[in-house]
């Protein structure tokens, strides 16, 4: 019989996962410590802007995890995950807008600036409750989760799979892009939500706040990894892999593939929403551009480059590609899209299993990736 | 239309009555009627394109018939149900092209097929009991894959994949097994072992086997139904079938 598997033995089963969790924990402690405690001139001092930049990468890493969970394990290639990320971000942004109070340009304590500008006199009903942080936190997962539930219910029940599913996820995020661009939707139109002042009473620009947001992002990625790992290591995870590899065979074994997909799709959307909520206070803005189809495609490229179907590969891919993006957009602003395209093509040709599927250092003895 | 007197539906594990399926006007099944008794082992033969696989598609919910009834276990009409529902009623199927979960181990393939609750949340918190693990060991023994339990299913030989798929069928503990061309791509020795395996299985289950290999059918030693152009051409012992004029013609006429 197989050895008894407990929580730790599952979570720490792979070298890549152990390294990832170790690095995340170390970063969550050491980066803020260095930023806050070491003098600015010190060689080991991490400047605040770097802390925030890395915090943003970690939010992307969590987003990449959410995509790998469905694409790597259930074969659901979502090209619309940016939508769930953005919805989580908007939920957090709405809370942050409410915290501005009367400190906006118009000094209106009841309404955000953009509503005053539109001559609105009353807060729309769907903005109610966002003054309260716990309510906003619930919405961060509930809104993306609900959209995923409704969308997935129709898509999976009608057995929309493969490239057709990818196309309708693109359509979904594009429709939301158009909707959020409209001023009368009440989400700030193309400017989105910005000019945040405080989070839970702390100045959002302050060094301490930034450090804490970074740590929380690192812990969220660690938590997300652990949760995904537990899911994919369970029998449910093996059913997902079975669905990925031979969906109809799974049905003939008596599994309702649509419910399994729906479950994991909703979990993934919620994770993406949390990623968005971590992203927004760190970058200080959320606007409809996050719904752009190209943004969602980029997420998939991170996962492909890092290595689909290993979870830690997605984290690695997100961080590496975004580091390259920061560097390249600084050095050659126009070159980024071409570089991304080239990177994607190169990785599919030379690293079809991504970085972690190719480097022997990440060998796990037992790869669950697809055979070619 | 029936070639012999109808039994009472009660004693049949599977009862097809006037089933027709057409693809773009072509009748793959043409008013097909036959029945299989509880606990019976039945072989189905017929030339390529006779409709054997299509018949299994209809029974397992993959294809909806244009007309006709498919009654399981003396009472349940299968024509309105989907694949997962039919599987959970107790019908297992081995496909003509062996289909196992290639990126998972032999053991995991069997574990996936293990009879039991298939709900999402039960799967999330599932742990294998020692009784279930023992059951997997037994099936590994039956399908001669004990030594390969940790191997990735994709790395098995063609014949071993066929056995693994039969093993998965057994794990499901179905009442009725539909086995489509289990001996395809097997050596003679493997073919005979497979026939033995199916005969043993037939003791506790009803089994319908489709095969082209006549030595295999002979080894099964069971009643044979001959399909041709979507309906039953003849039914009886293998010797009787091989002597039957119409059967000979249907094979040679092609
Ligand atoms: N999905 C489909 N669409 C169109 N035609 C089909 C479809 N499935 C089966 N057919 C046709 O129906 C006929 C019966 O096919 P079926 O696969 O049932 O034959 P078979 O008896 O299993 O043959 P074989 O011994 O070659 O496996 C064939 O002519 C086949 O081409
Ligand atoms: Mg066939």
To the nearest whole Å, the CA of B240 is away from the closest chain A CA by 35
User: What is the distance, to the nearest Å, from the Cα of residue B104 to the centroid of all Cα atoms in its chain?
Assistant: 23
Q: Number of folded domains in chain B?
A: 1
Work out the number of other CB atoms within 10 angstroms of the CB of residue A273: 32
Substitution target in A252, A353, A368 with the highest count of B β-carbons within 10 Å is: A252
In B, minimum Cα distance to A249 occurs at B99
Q: Near ion ligand 2, which residues have CB within 5 Å?
A: B 52-53, 96
Residue A239 has which token pair?
């059913």
Mutate to test the pocket of ligand 1, among B49, B208, B229 (most ligand atoms within 8 A of CB): B49
How confident is the model over B52-67, as a mean pLDDT? Answer: 96
Residue A189: what pLDDT? 95
Going by pLDDT thresholds of 50, 70 and 90, the confidence category of residue B8 is low
In A, minimum Cα distance to B82 occurs at A251
Q: What is the CA radius of gyration of chain A?
A: 21
CB of B7 within 8 A of CB of B181?
no
Q: Is the Cα dihedral A286, A291, A292, A296 positive or negative?
A: positive
d(CA B59, ligand 1 centre) in Å: 15
CB of B247 within 8 A of CB of B238?
no
Residue B40: what pLDDT? 93
Q: Is the pLDDT of residue B4 over 80?
A: no
Distance CA A80, CA A171 (A): 8
H helices of A284-311, where?
A: 293-306
Residue A334: what pLDDT? 84
Q: Which residues of B touch A236 (CB under 8 A)?
A: 120, 123-124, 126
Distance CA A159, CA A169 (A): 14
Q: What is the pLDDT of residues A177-206, one digit of tens each?
A: 999 999 999 999 999 999 999 999 999 999
Q: Is the pLDDT of residue B102 over 80?
A: yes
Tens of pLDDT along chain A (372 residues) come to: 444 568 888 899 888 999 999 999 999 999 999 999 999 888 899 999 999 999 999 999 999 999 999 999 999 999 999 999 999 999 999 999 999 999 989 989 899 999 999 999 999 999 999 999 999 999 999 999 999 999 999 999 999 999 999 999 999 999 999 999 999 999 999 999 999 999 999 999 999 999 999 999 999 999 999 999 999 999 999 999 999 999 999 999 999 999 999 999 999 999 999 999 999 999 999 999 999 999 999 999 999 999 999 999 999 999 999 999 999 888 888 888 888 888 888 888 888 888 888 876 555 444 444 433
Work out the number of other CB atoms within 10 angstroms of the CB of residue B186: 21
d(CA B86, ligand 2 centre) in Å: 20
To the nearest whole Å, the CA of B120 is away from the closest chain A CA by 6
How confident is the model over B199-207, as a mean pLDDT? Answer: 88
Residue A183: what pLDDT? 94
Residue B3: what pLDDT? 45
The protein residue whose alpha carbon is closest to atom 29 in ligand 1 is B49
Q: Which residues of A touch B111 (CB under 8 A)?
A: 235, 238
Q: Is the pLDDT of residue B153 over 50?
A: yes
Domain that residue B37 falls in? 3-252
Q: Is the pLDDT of residue B72 over 70?
A: yes
Q: Determine contact: A1 vs chain B, CB below 8 A.
A: yes
Least CB–CB distance from B118: residue in A231, A256, A368: A256
CB of A282 within 8 A of CB of A37?
no
What are B175's strand-pairing partners?
Answer: none
Q: Which ligand is nearest to the CA of B28?
A: 1
d(CA B178, ligand 1 centre) in Å: 16
- The answer to whether the CB atoms of A235 and B118 lie below 8 A apart is no
Collect all residues with Cβ–Cβ distance below 8 Å to A135 and sequence separation of at least 6.
Answer: A95, A129
DSSP 8-class letter at A332: -
Residue A364: what pLDDT? 47
The protein residue whose alpha carbon is closest to atom 7 in ligand 1 is B23
What are B36's strand-pairing partners?
Answer: B14
Q: Which residues of B touch A252 (CB under 8 A)?
A: 60, 62, 83-84, 87, 92-93
Q: Does the Cβ of B48 fall within 6 Å of ligand 1?
A: yes
Residue A371: what pLDDT? 39
CB of B95 within 8 A of CB of A249?
yes
Q: Which residues of B touch A250 (CB under 8 A)?
A: 112
CB of A11 within 8 A of CB of A226?
yes
To the nearest whole Å, the CA of B136 is away from the closest chain A CA by 10
Q: Is the pLDDT of residue B93 over 80?
A: yes
What are A203's strand-pairing partners?
Answer: A198
Distance CA A146, CA A153 (A): 10
In 3-state terms, what secondary structure has residue A346? helix
Across the A:B interface, residue pairs with CB atoms under 8 Å apart total: 86
CATH number of the domain residue B180 falls in: 3.40.50.300
- The answer to whether the CB atoms of A2 and B113 lie below 8 A apart is no
Distance CA B108, CA A237 (A): 11
Going by pLDDT thresholds of 50, 70 and 90, the confidence category of residue B203 is confident
- State the helix-helix crossing angle for B158-171 and B106-113, rounded to 10 degrees: 30
pTM (2 d.p.): 0.92
Boundaries of every domain in chain A? 10-292
Distances (CA, A) of B156 to A245, A298, B165, B229: 16, 37, 11, 35
Q: Which residues of B touch A238 (CB under 8 A)?
A: 104, 108, 111-112
């Amino acid at each position: 019989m197989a050895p008894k598997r407990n929580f730790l033995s599952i979570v720490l089963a792979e070298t890549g996962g152990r390294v990832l969790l170790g690095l995340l924990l170390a970063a969550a402690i050491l980066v803020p410590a260095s930023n806050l405690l070491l003098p600015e001139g010190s060689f080991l001092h991490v400047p605040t802007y770097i802390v925030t930049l890395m915090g943003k990468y970690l939010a992307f890493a969590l987003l990449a995890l959410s995509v790998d969970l469905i694409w790597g394990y259930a074969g659901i290639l979502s090209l619309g995950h940016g939508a769930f990320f953005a919805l989580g971000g908007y939920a957090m942004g709405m809370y942050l807008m409410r915290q501005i109070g009367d400190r906006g340009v118009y000094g209106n304590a009841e309404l955000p600036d953009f509503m005053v500008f539109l001559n609105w006199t009353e807060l729309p009903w769907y903005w109610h409750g966002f003054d309260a942080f716990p309510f906003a936190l619930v919405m961060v997962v509930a809104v993306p989760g609900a959209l995923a539930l409704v969308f997935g219910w129709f898509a999976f029940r009608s057995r929309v799979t493969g490239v057709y599913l990818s196309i309708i996820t693109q359509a979904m995020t594009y429709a939301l892009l158009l909707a959020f661009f409209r001023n009368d939707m009440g989400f700030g139109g193309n400017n989105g939500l910005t000019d945040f002042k405080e989070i839970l009473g702390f100045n959002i620009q302050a060094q301490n706040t930034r450090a804490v947001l970074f740590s929380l992002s690192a812990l969220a990625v660690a938590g997300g990894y652990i949760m995904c790992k537990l899911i994919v290591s369970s029998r449910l995870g093996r059913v997902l892999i079975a669905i990925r590899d031979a969906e109809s065979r799974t049905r003939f074994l008596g599994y309702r593939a649509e419910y399994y997909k729906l479950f994991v799709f909703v979990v993934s959307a919620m994770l993406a929403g949390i990623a968005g909520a971590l992203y927004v206070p760190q970058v200080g803005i959320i606007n409809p551009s996050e719904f752009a189809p190209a943004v969602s495609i980029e997420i998939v490229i991170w996962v492909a480059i890092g290595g689909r179907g290993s979870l830690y590969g997605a984290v690695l891919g997100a961080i590496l590609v975004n580091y390259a993006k920061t560097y390249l957009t600084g050095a050659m602003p126009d070159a980024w899209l071409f570089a991304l395209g080239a990177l994607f093509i190169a990785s599919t040709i030379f690293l079809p299993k991504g970085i972690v599927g190719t480097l022997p250092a990440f060998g796990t003895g037992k790869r669950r990736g697809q055979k070619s | 239309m029936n070639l012999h007197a109808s039994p009472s539906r009660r004693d049949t594990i599977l009862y097809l009555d006037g089933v027709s399926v057409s693809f773009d006007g072509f009748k793959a099944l043409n008013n097909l009627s036959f029945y299989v008794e509880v606990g019976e082992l039945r072989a189905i033969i017929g030339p390529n394109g006779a409709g054997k696989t299509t018949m299994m598609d209809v029974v397992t919910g993959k294809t909806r018939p244009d007309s006709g009834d498919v009654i399981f276990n003396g009472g349940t009409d299968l024509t309105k149900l989907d694949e997962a529902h039919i599987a959970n009623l107790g019908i297992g199927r081995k496909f003509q092209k062996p289909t196992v979960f290639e990126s998972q181990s032999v053991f995991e393939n069997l574990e996936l097929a293990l009879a039991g609750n298939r709900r999402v949340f039960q799967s999330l918190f599932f742990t294998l009991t020692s009784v279930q693990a023992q059951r997997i060991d037994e099936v590994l023994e039956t399908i001669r894959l004990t030594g390969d339990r940790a191997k990735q299913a994709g790395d098995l030989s063609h014949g071993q994949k066929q056995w693994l798929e039969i093993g998965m069928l057994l794990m499901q503990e179905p009442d009725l097994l539909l086995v489509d061309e289990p001996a395809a791509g097997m050596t003679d020795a493997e073919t005979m072992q497979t026939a033995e395996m199916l005969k043993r299985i037939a003791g506790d289950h009803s089994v319908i086997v489709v095969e082209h290999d006549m030595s295999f059918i002979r080894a099964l030693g069971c009643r044979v139904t001959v399909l041709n152009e979507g309906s039953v051409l003849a039914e009886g012992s293998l010797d009787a079938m091989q002597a039957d004029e119409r059967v000979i013609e249907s094979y040679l006429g092609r």
